[in-house]
Amino acid sequence: MTARPSDDLAAAFARLGGEDDGQVWIDLWDDLCHQGSVYSDSFLALPYLAAAADGRAPGEPHEAVELAGLIASAADEEHSARYAGELAVLLPVAGRLLDAAGEDAVVFVDLLQCVLAFEGERVWSAGLLEGLYQQEYEIECPKCASELFIAFGDRGTFASAGDYVTTDPPTAPLLPADPADLAPLPARLHRTAAQAGHADIERGLLHLFGRATCPDCDDVFPVSEQVEAARI
């Protein structure tokens, strides 16, 4: 992102509050997080986004929260400390929006990631939960390095060694986690999805934090560890 003076950023946010808000948000997303990337200058927008989120300034709170959530998911310790006040403002707004998210799984997961980001979680807030509504993850077997698709949607529940959409590759079963055995964060995510009535997300979390069998070498491994590894 090209460095932009604070007065230019203020001018950009000052455009909100009119009939062109849709385009203004598109421009802000493109300037601040082009193609999902977060830059050092992106954090300068957090005070403006916090003000829009809690109604102190014009702007759609949902847009403000989602843009701020993406930025916050990339915060290091220095940024987290510097913008602690803004993150504290954004967190309850994100929580209220999450409670009102309704049946849209994409909105629900995106807001769930925002809540985690504002709380300071820096792994699962950074887009890694999006596979829950896509109902698949692409990972690598930790033993033989085969490229695997972990699927848990309408096509079935399995690990596939290859492109299961256009071919008929070998598959192996997934071993979902027992809800009682989930670690604190996965248990909280599972509980939140259950309380919100998102059965598909609830089920997906058990597969994400469960285990898979590699069809090529029969190794059994935790899915979440390989999802994390693919992020690095």
- The pLDDT, as a whole number, for residue 7 is 53
* Average pLDDT of the segment spanning 211-226: 97
Contact (CB, 8 A) for 221 and 143:
yes
- The pLDDT, as a whole number, for residue 1 is 35
The angle formed by the CA atoms of residues 17, 21 and 26, to the nearest 5 degrees, is 140
Residue type, 226: Q
Spatial separation of the C-alpha atoms in residues 116 and 72, rounded to whole Å: 9
- The pLDDT, as a whole number, for residue 5 is 39
Closest CA to 118 of 103, 101, 97: 97
Spatial separation of the C-alpha atoms in residues 177 and 191, rounded to whole Å: 14
Is residue 13 predicted with pLDDT exceeding 70? yes
Give the start-to-end residue ranges of the domains of the chain: 6-119, 135-231
Q: Give residue-wise pLDDT tens across range 47-87.
A: 999 999 999 999 999 999 999 999 999 999 999 999 999 99
Contact (CB, 8 A) for 137 and 223:
yes
Structure tokens at 123: 């792994």
Q: Give residue-wise pLDDT tens across range 158-180.
A: 999 976 666 778 999 999 999 99
How buried is residue 37: exposed, middle or buried, by Cβ count under 10 Å (0-12/13-18/19+)? Answer: exposed
Contact (CB, 8 A) for 122 and 102:
no
Q: Give residue-wise pLDDT tens across range 105-151.
A: 999 999 999 999 999 999 999 999 999 999 999 999 999 999 999 99
* Strands annotated E in 71-210: 136-140, 147-153, 156-160, 171-172, 174-175
